[in-house]
Homo-oligomer: A and B are copies of this chain.
Amino acid sequence: MLTLNEIRNLVQEELDRAEYVEYPEQLFEPVRYLIGDGGKRLRPVLALMAYNLFHDDITPAIKSAVGIEIFHNYTLLHDDVMDDAPLRRGVPTVHKKWNNNVAILSGDAAAIVSYKLIEHCEDKYLRKVITFFNQMAMDICKGQQLDMEFETRNDVTVDEYIRMIYWKTSVLLAGSLRHGALIAGAPEEIYNALYDFGGCLGLAFQLQDDYLDVYGNEKSFGKQIGGDITINKKTFMLIKALENANDEQRAELQNWITTKHFDRNEKVQAVTELYNAIGVREMALAEIANYIVQCKEILRNIPIEEEKKSVFYEMITTLEGRNH
């Protein structure tokens, strides 16, 4: 088995070759820019981890795995336009550095590049590869659609929220694992189990992000605490708080949500205190723990040698380690 770092280096080498660049080069320049600024390459690494369960040599799967990374970057290009985000990984987003049209069109080109890359597999797997990829891509669109709809809704339930983040972020992690296992020739039972594992892991990860935005350590979290609170983002924390608040707490929370002029620190502190009083912290930790238990359960039941699973258990450990 290769280490995560060995896999990541192989992915990076393939990305650095940028074989997808054709004439006119300007069409692909924003994709190179976005991909060049780093990122953990989590999705292709997951795909190749899954492939590596069945083959020592992962070379035949690298192009296909890189297709998933490029697909991920396509969604970032378009999402950043839709969210009008100024920065991504600390540098100006493509639509800020160039303009919206460049981000839209280069995003479209990146999506096609990813479709061209993921089909690097044996013929016998091709139909499933395409079907799964389409489903995954569509789920991500649906997640983004719900995310946008939720912005103007005040009655989003936890179930709806979980579905949204599942589609928007978990499905691509799940699909990466499934993709790698599928093109490695894994039996259906195993690639489906890996899909479920990735879905749970993604949910745990996203819920932890919601949690850390309130209770995290600024240094290890890497972002300013309270960002979601400041913009009234309907995360698990806020939805649960509104659901479980008493009348007085709800009125106070609504007041913070609707107030246009406020002191950031004061708002973050006040809302955090409300979360504490309502018990949202414990609810979030229980929910995350619940998904982690599910992850471990799924992993335990996958019929492959235990020692091969260690790298997947490691991912859970890393996730648990973020909690502080």
A82: chain B residues within 8 A (beta carbon): 101, 104-105
**What CA separation (Å) do A146 and B116 show in the bound complex?**
21
**What CA separation (Å) do A137 and B108 show in the bound complex?**
9
**What CA separation (Å) do A299 and B27 show in the bound complex?**
35
A24: chain B residues within 8 A (beta carbon): 142, 145-146, 149
Asked if A119 is at the interface of the complex by the 8 Å CB criterion, the answer is: yes
Asked if A248 is at the interface of the complex by the 8 Å CB criterion, the answer is: no
Give A91-106 interface residues, CB cut-off 8 Å to B. 100-101, 104-105
Chain B residue nearest in CB terms to A118: B130
Chain B residue nearest in CB terms to A114: B134
Asked if A307 is at the interface of the complex by the 8 Å CB criterion, the answer is: no
A131 vs chain B, min Cβ distance (A)? 7
Contact B134 A112 (CB under 8 A): yes
Give A114-139 interface residues, CB cut-off 8 Å to B. 115-116, 119, 123, 126-127, 130-131, 134, 137-138
Task: Given A105-B148, A108-B111, verify A119-B138 contact (CB < 8 Å).
Answer: no
**What CA separation (Å) do A260 and B146 show in the bound complex?**
45
Contact B148 A109 (CB under 8 A): no
User: Of B23, B27, B78, which one neighbours A108 at CB under 8 angstroms?
Assistant: B78
Chain B residue nearest in CB terms to A82: B101
Chain B residue nearest in CB terms to A78: B104
Task: Given A24-B142, A126-B130, A142-B24, verify A148-B112 contact (CB < 8 Å).
Answer: no
A113: chain B residues within 8 A (beta carbon): 138
Contact A105 B145 (CB under 8 A): yes
Chain B residue nearest in CB terms to A116: B134
A257 vs chain B, min Cβ distance (A)? 23
Contact A123 B127 (CB under 8 A): yes
Task: Given A24-B146, A149-B24, A149-B26, verify A112-B141 contact (CB < 8 Å).
Answer: yes
A144: chain B residues within 8 A (beta carbon): 105
A141 vs chain B, min Cβ distance (A)? 4
Contact B142 A116 (CB under 8 A): no
Asked if A22 is at the interface of the complex by the 8 Å CB criterion, the answer is: yes
A145: chain B residues within 8 A (beta carbon): 24, 26-27, 105, 109
A108: chain B residues within 8 A (beta carbon): 78, 111, 141
Contact A127 B119 (CB under 8 A): yes
A177-218: CB near B (< 8 Å → 1, else 0) gives 000000000000000000000000000000000000000000
A104 vs chain B, min Cβ distance (A)? 6
Q: List 5 A-B contacts (CB under 8 A).
A: A26-B145, A81-B101, A82-B101, A109-B141, A111-B111
